[in-house]
Amino acid sequence: MSDEDIYPESEKIDGEPVRGPDFRGEVDLESLLEDYGTTGFQASHLKEAVDIVKEMREQNSKIFLTFTSNIVSSGLRETVAYLAREDLVDVMVTTSGSHTEDVIKSFTDFSMGEWDADEAELREKGVNRLGNIFVPSEHYIRLEEWLNSNVFPDLFEDGAVTPTTVAEKLGEEVADDPELDGSDSVMRHAYENDIPVFCPALIDAEIGNFMFYYRQEENPDAGIEILEDWDNLIHEALEAEDTGIIAVGDGIPKHQAIMSNLFRGGAEHVVYISTGMEGDGSLSGAKPEEAVSWGKIKEQEDTNYTQVEAEATLVFPLLVAAAFKD
């Protein structure tokens, strides 16, 4: 066997040289992320995501921000609250735990814990574990009392309401309650800037449990109207000249955003931040390319979608700092 068989003659490669950050001089966030573009692997995807989000802003896209509730449970709540406070996104889609945790965090702080804690011991102590974050059960008791006195009576006075109406009411009450610190409340800032917060699975957390109790004990007409919100979310997409989607995490929020854009021929700009595994065939693991096949994301000549395969607490603040902090 000859050398040519082992090492065939190479064609010229036109790509940029692989170069990472150079720490011999001063390093700032802008230069670091610029160097990410030629670092390779997920660093290059993050730089691509920053460029796509900047393009969303330059094109004045209607920006759909989707996120799962663990984002609000973590310190990323402050990042999402910043985007809402500064009116930098137009539509939010999330899961029910975001409502629950956002209000609780307006009462008090969550605490750092441990991944490998003794679960049975935590249960005896009345402590709930979210990864390496601890939340005392008493926080949920206080939440139920607050909802029953401040939110539910007015909210359900005329019967069923939409999830967006629930989010608006939560934001209004957090803003008006002098005993709460709503400075980093996602619901408050979304309410004050008229950013709708869609949540198709609203009952899938403690707030859903408390609605169940309230309906059983106080008002049998209390309920949640889902279809009207779906109609409104579709029209958010239909009425936009250009749309961008930033999906932090997967599941229902991500799919509601891309599905609503199907009705307008797909979204123009899309960024996924995901740890989902494509091999199981689930939507959570599906990459943007799959959504192109369904018509939920437009295929364009210039790169208009990417996925950063990373845990959100590591990369979402970098994306926001680079693409939204002017």
Element (H, E) at 230: helix 227-238
Q: What is the CA radius of gyration of the chain?
A: 22
Terminal Cα-to-Cα distance of the chain (whole angstroms): 59
Active-site entry in 169, 296, 298, 325: 296
Give residues with Cβ within 8 angstroms of 61, minimum separation 6.
240, 242, 243, 244, 268, 269
* Catalytic site includes residue 296: yes
3-state helix, strand, coil in the chain (%, to 5): 50, 15, 40
What is d(CA 245, CA 65) in angstroms, rounded to the nearest whole number? 6
Give residues with Cβ within 8 angstroms of 19, minimum separation 6.
35, 38, 39
- Chain centroid offset of residue 99 CA: 13
Q: Could you give the residue numbers annotated as active site? A: 296
